Amino acid sequence: MPLTKTDFITLNEAKDPQASRLLFAIPKKGRLYEHCQKLLAGADIQYHRKNRLDIALSTNQHVSLVFLPASDIPKFVGEGIVDLGITGQDMVAESGADVDEVMELGFGKCDLCVQVPIASGITDVKDLVGKRIVTSFEHLVTKYVAQLDADANKTRKQPVKTAVSFVSGSVEAACALGLADAIVDLVESGETMRAAGLTPIHTLLSSQAVLIANKKAPHPELTAKITRRIRGVILAARYVYCNYNVARAKLAEAIKITPGRKAPTVSPLENDQWVAISVMVAKDKVAEIMDQLEAIGATDILVFSITNCRA
Ligand SMILES: Nc1ncnc2c1ncn2[C@@H]1O[C@H](COP(=O)(O)OP(=O)(O)OP(=O)(O)O)[C@@H](O)[C@H]1O
Ligand SMILES: O=P(O)(O)OC[C@H]1O[C@H](OP(=O)(O)OP(=O)(O)O)[C@H](O)[C@@H]1O
Ligand SMILES: [Mg+2]
Domain co-membership, 83 together with 131: no
Say yes or no: CB of residue 185 within 6 Å of ligand 2: yes
Identify the domain boundary among 218, 250, 279: 218
Instruction: State whether the Cα torsion 81-87-91-96 is positive or negative.
Output: positive
Domain co-membership, 178 together with 301: no
Say yes or no: CB of residue 149 within 6 Å of ligand 2: no
Domain co-membership, 54 together with 167: no
Q: How far is the CA of 32 from the centre of ligand 1 (A)?
A: 7
At 268, which CATH number? Answer: 3.30.70.120
Q: How buried is residue 138: exposed, middle or buried, by Cβ count under 10 Å (0-12/13-18/19+)? A: middle
Domain co-membership, 100 together with 138: no
Q: Whose CA is nearest to atom 2 of ligand 1?
A: 188
Domain membership flag for residue 227 = no
Residues of the chain with pLDDT under 70: 1-19
Query: DSSP secondary structure string, 101-162?
Result: EEEE-S-S-EEEEEEEEGGG----GGGGTTSEEEES-HHHHHHHHHHHHHHHHTT-SS----
Give the residue among 130, 97, 104, 127 at the shortest CA–CA distance from 114: 127
Name the closest ligand to CA 88.
Answer: 1
Give residue 182's pLDDT.
Answer: 98
**Tens digits of per-residue pLDDT, 149-177?**
999 999 988 999 999 999 999 999 999 99
Give residue 5's pLDDT.
Answer: 46
At 101, which CATH number? Answer: 3.40.190.10
Domain co-membership, 99 together with 149: no
Domain membership flag for residue 233 = no
Domain co-membership, 34 together with 70: yes
Domain membership flag for residue 225 = no
| Most distant CA atoms of the chain, gap in Å | 85
Domain that holds residue 30: 5-107+208-218
Say what angle helices 220-238 and 33-42 make with each other, to 10 degrees: 110
Q: Which atom of ligand 2 is nearest to the CA of 30?
A: 13
Q: Whose CA is nearest to atom 18 of ligand 2?
A: 169
Domain membership flag for residue 243 = yes
State the total domains in the chain. 3
Say yes or no: CB of residue 34 within 6 Å of ligand 1: no
Domain membership flag for residue 251 = yes
Domain co-membership, 100 together with 213: yes
The C-alpha torsion from 115 through 120 and 121 to 124, rounded to 10°, is -40
Report the SS3 class of residue 217.
coil
Domain membership flag for residue 232 = no
